C-alpha cells in the first residue's frame, strides 16, 4: 500500500494553520442554509449533513407502503394515526441511512481521508470524500464500514422486537427498522459499482492483481449485471395489476437506473486522461502574498499588484483568500474597510498539501467546484494558489494527445 499523502492532516478538515471557521464571511441571506443542492440540516463532527429535495419523495413512498400495513397490524389505528406513524418511520429510516453514511465517514477519517459532506436523497445517501482511498485496504475498509453499521442496527433492532407487546407501534417500528437495515446492508454488499460491495470487489481484485484498473473493470461489469437484473425484476412486477406492484416496479426501475448510471460514471472516470509526467503540477501555482485581515482593502490591492493574497488573523491563521473583484468594489465604497471583508472562505475541500501527488490534486479539482486551491505545507502554512482552470487546461491537452495517439 502506498503511503497516505494526507498523513498529518487533521481528519475531515484542513491542515493545521487553516481555519475556515475563523473566516470573515459576507452576511448570509435567508437561503444560507441551502448549499450544494441540499438543505443543511445539521453538522455531525464538523461534517455538513445535506437533505436533498428528493428525500421528501422517500417519505411519500414509505407512507404509501407502510400506511395500510400499520392499519392492518395495529388494531384501532385510524387513517390519520397510520399516516403519522408512517412519517415517523420514514424519519427513522432516514436516520438509519445517515448512520450508514457516517460509518463510511468514520472509516474515511480513520484512514486520514477528509470528509466533505453527507447528502441524503431519495431512498439513499452518499458520503462525499475529499479524495479517494490510496490503496485497496483503505478502499475496502471505507466501503465495508457503511454496511457494517447497517447490519449492526438490524441486529440491535431485531433484539428489541421482543421487548414490545405484539401488534403495537413499538413492535412494528422495530421490525421495520430491523428489516430495512438488513436490506440496506445486503443490497449495498452486491458486487457492483457504485455500491459498497463493488468497492470491496475492486479492492480485492486490486490487491490480488496490483492494478486498480482491473478492480474497477470488475466492479463496472458487476454494476451492469445488477442493473440488468433489476430491470428484469421491474418488468416481472409490471405483470401484476395491483397499484402496489406498479409502485414497487417504479422503485426497482429507479434503482436500476441509479446502478447503471453509477457504473457508467465509474467507467467514464477511469477513461479520463491522467496527469502528464512531463508537467509539474506545482509549476502552475502562483506564489501568494500574506497580509493581515485588518489591512485596509485599498492598501491590500496596492501591495498585491495582481498577486493572490492570503489574509491572516492576529494569530497568523489563514482566514481567507482576497476576492479581487469584491475587494475593488469595497475599495470604491469604503477604502479603509478591512480586506477581510472581501475574503473568500478557505474551505477544507479547496485546501491541498503541497506534497500531495498530482493524481490526488487532479481528483480534488474534478470533484469540487472551487475555482482555485490553496497549497499549504505540512505545518499548514500557505505556499501558493493553484487555479483550477490551469489544471483543466493541461488535462484537456493531455486528453487531446491521448485521443490522437
Enzyme catalytic residues: 101
**CA 94, CA 112: separation in Å to the nearest integer?**
27
Q: Are strands 286-287 and 382-387 parallel, antiparallel or unpaired?
A: antiparallel
Measured distance CA(275)–CA(362) in Å, rounded: 8
Q: Coil, helix or strand for 113?
A: coil
Report the alpha-carbon distance of residue 358 to residue 131 in Å, rounded: 12
3-state SS assignment for residue 58: helix
CA–CA separation, 41 vs 219, rounded Å?
A: 33
Q: How many CB atoms lie within 10 A of CB 196?
A: 28
Q: How many angstroms separate the Cα of 281 from the Cα of each of 14, 167, 176, 357, 398? A: 20, 64, 52, 9, 13
Q: How far apart are CA 161 and CA 164, in angstroms?
A: 6
CA separation, residue 308 to residues 149, 334, 387 (Å):
44, 21, 10
Q: Are strands 382-387 and 372-376 parallel, antiparallel or unpaired?
A: antiparallel
Kindly report the backbone phi and psi dihedral angles of residue 228, in degrees, each rounded to the nearest multiple of 5, phi listed first.
Answer: -65, -40
Q: How far is CA 218 from CA 132, 205, 225, 228, 391, in A?
A: 18, 8, 11, 16, 30
Distances (CA, A) of 289 to 57, 301, 326, 331: 49, 11, 18, 19
Identify the three-state secondary structure at position 194: coil
Residues in a beta bridge with 124: 121
CB count within 10 Å of CB 178 equals 19
Task: Give the Cβ contact number of residue 10 at 10 Å.
Answer: 16
In total, the chain counts a number of residues equal to 405
Helix, strand and coil content of the chain, in percent to the nearest 5, comes to 55, 15, 30
Amino acid at each position: 500500500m502506498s503511503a497516505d499523502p494526507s498523513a498529518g492532516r487533521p481528519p475531515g478538515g484542513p491542515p493545521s494553520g487553516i481555519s475556515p471557521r475563523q473566516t470573515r464571511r459576507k452576511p448570509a441571506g435567508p437561503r444560507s442554509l441551502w448549499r450544494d443542492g441540499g438543505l443543511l440540516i445539521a453538522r455531525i463532527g464538523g461534517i455538513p449533513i445535506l437533505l436533498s429535495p428528493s428525500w421528501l419523495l422517500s417519505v411519500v413512498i414509505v407512507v404509501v407502503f407502510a400506511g395500510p400495513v400499520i392499519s392492518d397490524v395495529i388494531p384501532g389505528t385510524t387513517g390519520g394515526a397510520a399516516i403519522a406513524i408512517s412519517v415517523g418511520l420514514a424519519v427513522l429510516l432516514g436516520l438509519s441511512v445517515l448512520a450508514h453514511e457516517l460509518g463510511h465517514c468514520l472509516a474515511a477519517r480513520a484512514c486520514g481521508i477528509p470528509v466533505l459532506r453527507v447528502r441524503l436523497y431519495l431512498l439513499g445517501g452518499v458520503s462525499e470524500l475529499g479524495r479517494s482511498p490510496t490503496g485497496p485496504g483503505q478502499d475496502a475498509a471505507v466501503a465495508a464500514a457503511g454496511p457494517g453499521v447497517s447490519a449492526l442496527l438490524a441486529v440491535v433492532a431485531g433484539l428489541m422486537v421482543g421487548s414490545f407487546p405484539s401488534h403495537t407501534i413499538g413492535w412494528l417500528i422495530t421490525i421495520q427498522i430491523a428489516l430495512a437495515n438488513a436490506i440496506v446492508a445486503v443490497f449495498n454488499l452486491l458486487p457492483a459499482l457504485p455500491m459498497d460491495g463493488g468497492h470491496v470487489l475492486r479492492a480485492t481484485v486490486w490487491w490480488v492483481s496490483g492494478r486498480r484498473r482491473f478492480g474497477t473493470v470488475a466492479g463496472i461489469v458487476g454494476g451492469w449485471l445488477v442493473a440488468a437484473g433489476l430491470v428484469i425484476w421491474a418488468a416481472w412486477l409490471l405483470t401484476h395489476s395491483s397499484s402496489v406492484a406498479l409502485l414497487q416496479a417504479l422503485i426497482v426501475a429507479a434503482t436500476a437506473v441509479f446502478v447503471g448510471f453509477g457504473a457508467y460514471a465509474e467507467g467514464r472516470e477511469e477513461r479520463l486522461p491522467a496527469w502528464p509526467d512531463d508537467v509539474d503540477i506545482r509549476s502552475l501555482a502562483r506564489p501568494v502574498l500574506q497580509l493581515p485581515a485588518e489591512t485596509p482593502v485599498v492598501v491590500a490591492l496596492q501591495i498585491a499588484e495582481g498577486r493572490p493574497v492570503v489574509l491572516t488573523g492576529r494569530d497568523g491563521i489563514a482566514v481567507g483568500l482576497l476576492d479581487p473583484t469584491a475587494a475593488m468594489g469595497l475599495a470604491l465604497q469604503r477604502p479603509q474597510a478591512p480586506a477581510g471583508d472581501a475574503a473568500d472562505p478557505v474551505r477544507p475541500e479547496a485546501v491541498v498539501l503541497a506534497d500531495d501527488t498530482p493524481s490526488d490534486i487532479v481528483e480534488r479539482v474534478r470533484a469540487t467546484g472551487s475555482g482555485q486551491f490553496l497549497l499549504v505545507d505540512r505545518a499548514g502554512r500557505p505556499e501558493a494558489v493553484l487555479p483550477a482552470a490551469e489544471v483543466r487546461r493541461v488535462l484537456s491537452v493531455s486528453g487531446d494527445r491521448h485521443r490522437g495517439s
